[in-house]
Structure 1
Amino acid sequence: MPAAEHLLGRAGELARLDLVLGGASDCPSTLLVLGDPGIGKSALIAQAARRAAARGAVVLTTTGVPSEARLPFAGLHQLLGPVLPAAARLPRPQRDALLAAFGRSETAVGDIFAVALAALSLLRDCAGTTRVVLVAEDLHWIDRATTDVLAFVARRIDADAVAIVASAREAPRGAMADVLAEVLTLGGLDDVSAGQLVDASAPGLDAALRGRLLREAHGNPLALVELSIAWSRLPPGTLIASWVPVTTRLAHTFAARIDQLPGPCRTAVLVAALNDGPSLWEVLTAASLAVGAPLTSRALEPAIEARLVELAGGDIRFRHPLMRFAIAEGAALAERQDAHSALARVLPDADRVAWHRAAAASEPDEDVAIALDGSAARARRRGAVGVAVASLERGARLSPEPSQRGRRLVRAAELAFELGRRDVVQRLLDEAEQLPLDPLDRIRLQWRRGLGDGRWRDVAQTRSLAELVDRMHRAGELDLALDALLTVAIAGWWTSADDERRATMADAVDRLGVPDSDARVLGVLAFAAPVERGTRVLAVLRRVRAEELDDPGELSLLGAAAGVLGAQELSAAFLDPAIRRLRAQDRLGGLADALISRAWAAWHLGGWDLAASAAAETVRIGVQIERPAAVAAGRLVDGALAAARGAPAVADAIAADVEATFRPLGATSMLALATVVRGLAAQADGRAGEAYDLLLPLLRGGDDGARVIVGQAGIAVFVDAAVQCGELASARAVVHSLGHLAARCGSPTMSAHLAYARPLLADDDEAEDLFVAALGSGLAAWPFLDARLLLAYGSWLRRQRRVGESRIPLRAAREAFDALAADPWGERARQELRATGESAGPRAGAAHERLTAQEREIAGLAARGMTNREIGQHLYLSPRTVGSHLYHVFPKLGITSRAELAGLAGLPGLSGRPESA
């Protein structure tokens, strides 16, 4: 066979790989090599990796095998093993997450993204001194947890000295589906190269056999090599049977070659094929047990000579993964069970032992099923939910008692729901439903079945939920009952459940008798019944001291509940510590939820640069973790800011995109927020009639008080538009109705907007007292609203010919709008001032306003003295990306050094973080 340095017929493909692995400026940093089994993917990548290593790159490799696909992070452990000592330099939460994923710590991995961030940080640390090349062979056999991490890394290495090359038989699905930027599809070798390969592998092969092999191998290098060797050993004149598919023929070839091995060698090779690790010691020890005699590496010499396996550094590896598969498939069932049983007796890892015991079992065995339960629990803690589902399902198959089998199937379905695999959920529940389940398991099945699409759209379903919750409670499953109610309450909020459904959920949580001190109770009541129970929830929230709570998830839920009920300052008080802790723990899903609530709170409270920063981070994380609702909510904050700051077309476009995505899903709360953004954009653009028409149906609301609460940020805009359109009577009726709603729900935001609205809609003889009362009612907590009230008051005074008095509120309004960069409203204040005879030139834009939201965020952190590396760890960006942003920031701010940036730390917009750190 030709030397590896001289791959035949692959010069062009090798050159293309060299460009990617070498970091050519015009090449992507990822590449997927696709091709049939044996087409030469491994040889090509190995050659390119050797060349990269010769240029000084660090090459890290992992190879997927079927038996490891169920072991969480097995592939990642293999990949990062050579550089794992460098993990000591990672921040402690990331280091702990990575070690826990590899089973080196008892710490639970609550979020797979924590492991992904740790892997990314580790690779960036290594890439700080040399190029790093990641090789993932046979991607289709690598465990799901590892591919999720690889996808996370692949999306973030554009600015790093890191390259990823992967191989697979077909385009990957799931997390890796869209992250490998370039695809190299390998076809068969050309005729000349194929002939050279056959001649190098089997010199003197019979001419007739050689010709037939070249015709029927279709240039597949593995088929050419392996079959030419096998055929060269055939007696002269042997006839080859009619051709079968290459993979089948190769499997037959491998099976024939293993049949020729001595018995102990054959057993050792089979054990190696079934083992989920490359350890030669494990293979020889287990094989010794299987044959009843001690074996050494000498026992494998026939397999090495037959070119089935190779030994290197204490490991045994097959020359091609297909060999492993073919050998395992070709063995008799009893032989495989004996090999699995032997492996289970020597392996040190409980999860691997459990799976080999399961494979060795020939009949139901509760002890093995219990072991798989433990494996499932450990996999769940490590974030490998798919592995946990497989463990529970395999355990169900081994359960002697039908009720135990059903219990494990229901639990597997619950975990499959977390994965979003509704097809798997349905299959598992269908099977479990036929079994004699215990009462509690039957309840859990009905709950999961009833959850359906997660929305509980009709009253009958919600009543069924309430009955299930009562039964869960009676069965002692109080946590399950609360979690079920919270899930459905939040879903109902976004899909705008009607009053009866909301009341059903609220009554159900009341019947549980759980104190209001439980955050889940408050969450259910806030989301399910914001009108009916809002004042009760707010009264409890105002007594809670955020500094006494440790759980960031609880803090985030309380902050979201306060935000839903319009208590924005209270919401921020819970969310700020939640965000700090969620960020420290790298819990990206919870962080996205907390950030979007914080962004909207900052919008209401006038912290618009903070709102932009939090929204930008929400969008970035939402894209990373594939959560479209978080992305949409963050973009709507951007839309509200764009409208208020003079870019209504941008706001309209954002709202239109969100509507197109969420209208088919019935997400009426998201659509209500989009309507508010559209109304604000129309009002900013002078389209008062359009703003009025948009917001009237939302705020009139009918019986849907919860939907009105979602849209309460549009009340002031609606009133402005109504005044401009002369629709005073209609607006007064809406405001009167909203007054009753505000009294019931207790929303401070709604009360503030109504305080703004009343003087604008009043007759002149009542207006001034109402203006004065509103200005003294604490509207300073809502700067944008307060500034608009000052503008309205100044305009009213001018129309009353009290020109001198009017200038005072108009000047204050102009300054407030300028501080917010709310240019459309600032220009209106200037027009009013000019109408009083006072000169009012255009606003001079602040330098920081020329920065993007991410540039402001990075500049703010740098101004506080953080290094590029520290900023990157906070924002999940590479230090190089941070440096690139700062390169653009300096000229925009008119500075030339980091020291000058520190002097700008107090400027608006450079506070740096959506938290109070």
Structure 2
Amino acid sequence: MRFAIRGRDAELAAIEDLLHRARAGHGAALLIRGHPGLGKSMLLGETGRTATTAGMTVLTANGVAAESALPFAGLHQLLAPLLGRPDAGGLLASMVRPDGARPDRFAAGLAVLGLLREAAAGTPLALLVDDAHRLDPDSLDVLVFVARRLTAEPIALILTAGVRHDQVLAGTGLSELHLAELDRDAARAVLDDRVPAMAPDRRDRTLAAAAGHPLALVELPGCLPAVDSAEVPLSERLREAFADRYAHLPEPTRAVLAALAADVDSPPDVVVAAASALTGAAVDLDSVQPAIDAGLLEIRSHRLRFRQPLVRHAVYHGLPVAERLRLHAVLADLVADDPDRRARHRAAATLGPDERAGQELEAAAARALDRGTPVPAVTHLERAADLTLDAARHTSLLLRAAEVASQLHDRSEAARLAARAEPVRGTTADRARQALVGDVVDPGDLRDEARIDALCELAMDAHEAGETDLAAALCWQAVSRCWRAGLPAEVGARILAVHGKLGFAGDDPRSVVVAAYAQPDVLGGELLRRLPALVPDRSDIDGMHLLAAAAMVLGDLRTGVSFLGTAVAGYRAQGRTALLVRALSATGFPRLWRGRWPMVRADLDEAEALAARTGEVFWQVAARAGQAMHEAMRGDSDAAVSLADQVLSSAQLTGVRSVTAVAQHARGVAANASGRYDEAFDLLVRMFDRTDTAHHPDLSGWALPDLADAALRTGRGREIDDILTVATARAARFPSPMLTRSLAYAVAVLTPDDAADDAFREARAADLAEWPVHRARLDLAYGTWLRRRKRILESRAPLRAARDGFDALGAAAWARRAREELRAAGEEDPAAGRGAAELLTAQELQTAMLAAAGLSNREIAQRLQLSPRTVGSHLYRIYPKLQIRGRAQLRAALNGQARDDG
């Protein structure tokens, strides 16, 4: 299969121009230089195809080191198709001297030029020579002679040569074209061509490692580790390509590269000192310059850096094992004042067991955990386990590594580490860790109360053994199961009682989140009063995540989204992908009610992609549930139902009522938006049946407005009187902001006409400044009620507010209803009869036209110099303004607007 040559438009244009001029009788020569793997041969191959298509005769040759000592070997290869011609005799005579004397290169040059002129008289010629630096000197001299005399000939000569062979063809006057690495867009296109189904995060890792190197983009997908790793194994082709860049450098310079490859964070003085120790002779900073000149190193922020990340891997893995061990031993001594780096190098300098090195790594892991950077702790603990001969200690260290991985919610890594440990017969802490890891890796049916009780018992055992943090982790695992499964309040009470014995302060994030998850009905009111008064340590990313989770459960979306924003930024900066997935999935859902819709899809799409990459299938399904709700609220019922059905059919949802409730809610909203009100009622009322799998004690209350809409439209309001009574009682003891606003809407909508005015006024008097969805829906419901009570003039203001609110959100179905009600109230929609130029801002109109032409968000962003997220935001505002549902309708909408505009 042939692939397009990406990112070489300028080079291909220059070559095509050269071929065009040659065909017109103005021949010329071109030398293409570049490092191995940058695509010189591929570019030359494309040149041959272009020349052939244009009707030129193509002659080719490849420089081969084995033939570089044979006079005219390269020239013979290039001209072989012409040597049978009658006029080739003079050339052959000049190349082979019967007396054994050295051939006359000048005579050979004239003979070659004459032969080429005769051959080109009928058909223009394209001479393509790859790896010219490997040609024999005689052939190279003749080709230079010919190249300088092609100005009036229908002949094009194109040669390629490696960068490090800069003396070859130097000073010849030939035009040169230098190949560099591809830019990011071209590199991404290469990957899309080769591996179109690559997971987004794996694609990003490949792009970062390849740094625009074409051969690396082709080879890395087959050898990049499945999990993120500091080490990248290179294929043989890649090793050869990058070894070529440094093999010719002076020994001191190669030693500098080796030292830097072993510790890329070392300052220059440490690098030079390590290089000196490696060579056994003094190495100074002057030895760095050849590597900079060769394009291998650069200086950034007063540190030496590899310009191409893969060169570092090629250098490091190209070192003999003994030399690598010696280098790490030297570096361990040189960084003695940095205990973490010293521990890492001492471990890397060790082949067999070494208790001292293992203890140093264990201490480094503890410091990493104290700093709130658990990712390196996992690596340190596993390596420490490999350095000990004590079987019990080996198992304990592996289980500690697995525990940290499980807290990072990296299931695959936790499972791998736990599998390496021996079956636990040892300490209480080890047994507790094994149970914790097992529950994260394979949670089973979340409704299993016996498993929750077992986790609580182990938590008490761990606490009594002095492992209080481990005990807290077990309680958190237990209460997470409890809340997600929607288990009865008495189960949560048992967990809370155990956690209360651990001795944590009431404002500790672990205490807050366990209380919120375990007993929201009982403690929710108190916790809601305390949350705004908390002054959290925003540098404690895990603590912020726990507080955010507590706020979400309690329906305080403002606090929850704020805290989650801190957690997302922290996890992203720390590279903690599995926890980033959870935070993104969690933050996308509440943002729907907060009106941040353009951000919602970006968060949920990223969460789903990262979850697929990390194997977090549960969170992939959870993100899809949020996407279903988003599509339903936007008014795309078909997409919402499709996504919700995927969620509800997932095997990952055994006993997970929290996600099931969201998907069921999305189906109900979609049915309402499509006018299927009886279906919507039947779907949504199930969420309030405690025996139904779609019921969740907290999330069901969020569906009250949609159930009320369906009940009003079907005349089945009396059927949910008991539901409203229960919700009212719950809101009285637990004033969840989300529940109280949802309940107020439902009560107002279903209140009989003689008291409805007061109910609406009470609902609208609540603080809805940061609740745009509830505010717009109340405006629509109230305006509709006023119009149907013949209070036409009064109805128009809330209906206008509703229309504008839904337009701003991008809620097409609700916006359409608001416009219908306005027209029924005798007010023409300002959008009616207006063209796109009036409805849209200039940038929105540009965006709409480009999207209608088929450009992707990324392509539109590049064209308009915006971010893809901004383009998405524009489109979400454009659709309701044009009264359409999505991208597929843009062209028709714009064409219709144009006709209306005359």
Cα-to-partner distance string for 1:598-652 (whole Å, 9 max, x where unaligned): 44444223x2xx2322431442365257366666555555544443343222322
Give the paired residue count: 650
Aligned residue among 332, 355, 376 for 2:347: 355
8 Å CA contact retained: 1:413, 1:429: no
8 Å CA contact retained: 1:827, 1:842: no
Within a 5 Å distance, the mapping from 1:577-726 to structure 2 comes to: 593-594=582-583, 596-605=585-594, 607=595, 610-620=596-606, 623-624=609-610, 626=613, 636-661=625-650, 664=653, 666-702=655-691, 707-726=696-715
Aligned residue among 167, 178, 183 for 1:56: 178
8 Å CA contact retained: 2:187, 2:207: no
Shift of 1:721: 0.6
**In structure 1, what is the equivalent of residue 413 of structure 2?**
421
**In structure 1, what is the equivalent of residue 21 of structure 2?**
none
| SS of equivalent to 2:422 | helix
Cα-to-partner distance string for 1:365-396 (whole Å, 9 max, x where unaligned): 53243244356568989999898656545544
| SS of equivalent to 1:711 | helix
Within a 5 Å distance, the mapping from 1:800-811 to structure 2 comes to: 800-803=789-792, 805-807=794-796, 809-811=798-800
Within a 5 Å distance, the mapping from 1:733-752 to structure 2 comes to: 733-752=722-741
In our comparison, the structure showing a higher alpha carbon Rg is: 2
Q: Distance in 2 between matches of 1:582 and 1:323?
A: 30
Cα-to-partner distance string for 1:774-819 (whole Å, 9 max, x where unaligned): 3334456533333333433344444445555545544444444444
> Are residues 421 and 723 of structure 1, via their aligned partners in 2, closer, same or farther at CA, if it must alter by over 3 Å?
same
> Which TM-score applies when normalising by structure 2?
0.57
8 Å CA contact retained: 1:794, 1:810: yes
1:536 correspondence with 2:588: no
| SS of equivalent to 1:165 | helix
Cα-to-partner distance string for 1:197-248 (whole Å, 9 max, x where unaligned): xxxxxxxxxxxxxxxxxxxxxxxx9xxxxxxxxxxxxxxxxxxxxxxxxxxx
Quick one: which amino acid aligns to residue 152 of structure 1?
D
| SS of equivalent to 2:178 | coil
| SS of equivalent to 1:514 | coil
Cα-to-partner distance string for 1:18-49 (whole Å, 9 max, x where unaligned): 7999xx9xxxxxxxxxxxxxxxxxx99x9997
**In structure 2, what is the equivalent of residue 165 of structure 1?**
216
Quick one: which amino acid aligns to residue 606 of structure 2?
R
Shift of 1:535: 2.1
**In structure 2, what is the equivalent of residue 152 of structure 1?**
204
Quick one: which amino acid aligns to residue 636 of structure 2?
A
8 Å CA contact retained: 2:584, 2:607: no
> Are residues 339 and 848 of structure 1, via their aligned partners in 2, closer, same or farther at CA, if it must alter by over 3 Å?
same
Q: Which has the higher contact order (CA 8 A, sep 6+)?
A: 1
Quick one: which amino acid aligns to residue 531 of structure 1?
D
Q: Distance in 2 between matches of 1:449 and 1:621?
A: 24
Shift of 1:468: 1.7
Cα-to-partner distance string for 1:409-448 (whole Å, 9 max, x where unaligned): 32233345454235423423434x14x43x4344334433
Quick one: which amino acid aligns to residue 535 of structure 1?
G
Q: Distance in 2 between matches of 1:633 and 1:849?
A: 36
Within a 5 Å distance, the mapping from 1:391-540 to structure 2 comes to: 392-393=381-382, 395-396=384-385, 398-399=387-388, 401-415=390-404, 417=406, 418=408, 419=410, 420-431=412-423, 433-434=424-425, 436-437=426-427, 439-454=428-443, 457=446, 458-540=448-530
Q: Distance in 1 between matches of 2:577 and 2:845?
A: 20
Within a 5 Å distance, the mapping from 1:244-263 to structure 2 comes to: none
| SS of equivalent to 1:571 | helix
Structure 2: which 5+ runs fail to align?
1-30, 51-130, 135-159, 167-175, 192-198, 229-233, 241-257, 265-270, 284-296, 298-310, 336-340, 849-857, 879-902
> Are residues 414 and 757 of structure 1, via their aligned partners in 2, closer, same or farther at CA, if it must alter by over 3 Å?
closer
> Are residues 155 and 322 of structure 1, via their aligned partners in 2, closer, same or farther at CA, if it must alter by over 3 Å?
closer
Q: Distance in 1 between matches of 2:165 and 2:489?
A: 65
Q: Distance in 2 between matches of 1:162 and 1:170?
A: 13
> Are residues 352 and 806 of structure 1, via their aligned partners in 2, closer, same or farther at CA, if it must alter by over 3 Å?
closer
> Are residues 20 and 854 of structure 1, via their aligned partners in 2, closer, same or farther at CA, if it must alter by over 3 Å?
farther
**In structure 2, what is the equivalent of residue 199 of structure 1?**
none
Q: Distance in 2 between matches of 1:704 and 1:744?
A: 25
Q: Distance in 2 between matches of 1:771 and 1:892?
A: 29
Within a 5 Å distance, the mapping from 1:12-51 to structure 2 comes to: 15-16=41-42
Q: Distance in 1 between matches of 2:332 and 2:573?
A: 41
Shift of 1:552: 4.7
> Are residues 285 and 563 of structure 1, via their aligned partners in 2, closer, same or farther at CA, if it must alter by over 3 Å?
closer
Q: Distance in 2 between matches of 1:499 and 1:580?
A: 34
Within a 5 Å distance, the mapping from 1:818-829 to structure 2 comes to: 818-829=807-818
Within a 5 Å distance, the mapping from 1:241-320 to structure 2 comes to: none
Quick one: which amino acid aligns to residue 172 of structure 1?
C
Q: Distance in 2 between matches of 1:577 and 1:337?
A: 41
Q: Distance in 1 between matches of 2:633 and 2:165?
A: 52
Quick one: which amino acid aligns to residue 178 of structure 2?
G
Quick one: which amino acid aligns to residue 470 of structure 2?
L
Q: Distance in 2 between matches of 1:513 and 1:323?
A: 49
Shift of 1:488: 4.1
8 Å CA contact retained: 1:456, 1:462: no
Aligned residue among 545, 550, 553 for 1:561: 550
Shift of 1:504: 2.8
Q: Distance in 2 between matches of 1:690 and 1:709?
A: 23
> Are residues 354 and 675 of structure 1, via their aligned partners in 2, closer, same or farther at CA, if it must alter by over 3 Å?
same
8 Å CA contact retained: 1:409, 1:429: yes
* Identity within the alignment, %: 27
Quick one: which amino acid aligns to residue 465 of structure 2?
A
Structure 1: which 5+ runs fail to align?
25-42, 61-122, 137-146, 178-182, 187-220, 222-271, 289-293, 297-311, 313-317, 329-334, 857-871, 895-917
Shift of 1:823: 3.7
Cα-to-partner distance string for 1:524-557 (whole Å, 9 max, x where unaligned): 22234333432232122132256x7554543443
